[in-house]
């Protein structure tokens, strides 16, 4: 049996109906991958078919964040990606389908990490990585996706440029902490869109102020950076860039990541889960 594959990159076709978002950051450790998997988990919970291409080739973490241990399988000349199903108790009907049985959404994931044995570092050069990412888009059988998320590597290097060429209509979502020094770096990742021609969908502020058990508020990384970044990007690309939301520092989010279950599934009422769900609903 054939899967009817034609060996073209369906996501380069302007007529393709899949919504594509590239999740970018200026530097590592700001929660880009955590945001990516939680947006995917939230969208899938509302019944959507979601794909993730983990393009953070040197810092891949998406498989671990989703608890994926299976490898992709090969069928003829196609790669079947591992599928993460939404836990039945986490399915929620979309607003327009209120009252009906929620659809079973899922997440299909492909990552370089699935092709590197024993957690060894990826020491490939640019052209080889470009070819691998291209193969992810042409040879991986994602099926009909509602949404595809690309977890970009931090910064504005080769891979981010490659991805923008492979998926030109991807909207850029820029993740930053509220720290003003982080905002400077994140602004560069956002202004990359001037060269690539991609649309900037908005800014996600992560690791924002956390309310402590005694009611006091801890601003570990300061405050206001997300709004500042949105304003600065709006000015530098001369288009209105919104702040999509602000995700607080939250131990539940870190615990969910460590356990391989996104916080929107593991602790749905937690402050970070509520914020992430709202951002996903606004996409
Ligand atoms: P990046 O993809 O930007 O390198 P990660 O998503 O890997 O960053 O996140 C870095 C670390 O910070 C992870 O250990 C993650 O669990 C933790 N983390 C991310 N966002 C938060 C948050 N809002 N609250 C608590 N921990 C977080």
Q: What is the CATH number of the domain that holds 207?
A: 3.40.50.300
Q: State the total domains in the chain.
A: 1
pLDDT in tens, the chain (283 residues): 445 555 789 998 888 999 999 999 999 999 999 999 999 999 999 999 999 999 988 888 999 999 999 999 998 889 999 999 999 888 887 665 566 666 679 999 999 889 887 777 777 777 888 888 899 999 999 999 999 999 999 987 788 888 888 998 899 999 999 998 888 889 988 888 888 888 999 999 999 998 888 988 888 888 899 999 999 999 998 999 999 999 999 999 989 888 999 999 999 999 999 999 999 999 9
Atom 20 of ligand 1, nearest CA residue: 31
Atom 26 of ligand 1, nearest CA residue: 254
Decide if 246 contacts 225 (C-beta within 8 A): no
CA-CA distance, 204 to 226, in Å (whole number)?
Answer: 7
Sign, Cα dihedral of 184, 57, 150, 130:
positive
Question: Ligand 1 centroid to 95 CA: how many Å?
Answer: 29
- Complex-level ipTM: 0.98
Q: Is residue 82 part of a domain?
A: yes
Domain that holds residue 80: 16-282
Q: Is residue 222 part of a domain?
A: yes
13 exposure class (CB count in 10 Å sphere: 0-12, 13-18, 19+): exposed
Q: Is residue 11 part of a domain?
A: no
Quick count: other Cβ atoms within 10 Å of Cβ 128? 12
Atom 24 of ligand 1, nearest CA residue: 249
Q: Which atom of ligand 1 is nearest to the CA of 25?
A: 3
CA-CA distance, 105 to 127, in Å (whole number)?
Answer: 35
CA-CA distance, 174 to 26, in Å (whole number)?
Answer: 8
Q: What is the pLDDT of residue 101?
A: 64
Q: What is the DSSP letter of 140?
A: B
| Site to substitute for ligand 1 among 24, 34, 41, 273, most atoms within 8 A of C-beta | 34
Pairing of the two strands 78-80 and 73-75:
antiparallel
pTM: 0.93
Q: Is residue 67 part of a domain?
A: yes
Q: Which atom of ligand 1 is nearest to the CA of 28?
A: 4
Pocket lining: 207 vs ligand 1, CB cutoff 6 Å? yes
């Amino acid at each position: 049996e054939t899967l009817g594959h034609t060996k073209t990159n369906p996501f380069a076709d302007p007529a393709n109906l899949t919504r594509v978002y590239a999740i970018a950051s200026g530097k590592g450790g700001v929660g880009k991958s955590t945001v990516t998997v939680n947006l995917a988990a939230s969208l899938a919970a509302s019944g959507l078919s979601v794909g993730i291409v983990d393009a953070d080739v040197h810092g891949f973490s998406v498989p671990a964040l989703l608890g994926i241990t299976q490898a992709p399988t090969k069928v003829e000349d196609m790669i079947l990606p591992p599928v993460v199903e939404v836990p039945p108790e986490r399915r929620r009907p979309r607003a327009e389908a209120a009252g009906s049985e929620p659809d079973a959404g899922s997440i299909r994931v492909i990552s370089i990490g699935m092709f590197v044995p024993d957690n060894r570092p990826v020491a490939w050069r640019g052209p080889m990585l470009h070819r691998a990412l291209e193969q992810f888009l042409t040879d991986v059988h994602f099926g009909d996706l509602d949404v595809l998320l690309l977890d970009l590597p931090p910064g504005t290097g080769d891979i981010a440029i490659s991805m923008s060429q492979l998926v030109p209509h991807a909207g850029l979502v820029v993740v930053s902490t509220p720290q003003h020094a982080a905002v400077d770096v994140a602004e560069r990742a956002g202004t990359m869109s001037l060269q690539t021609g991609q649309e900037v969908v908005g800014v996600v502020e992560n690791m924002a102020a956390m309310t402590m058990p005694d009611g006091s508020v801890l601003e570990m990384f300061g405050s206001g950076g997300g709004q500042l970044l949105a304003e600065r990007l709006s000015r530098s690309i001369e288009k209105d860039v919104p702040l999509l939301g602000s995700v607080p520092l939250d131990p539940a989010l870190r615990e969910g990541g460590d356990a391989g279950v996104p916080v929107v599934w593991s602790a749905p009422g937690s402050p970070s889960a509520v914020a992430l769900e709202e951002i996903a609903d606004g996409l």
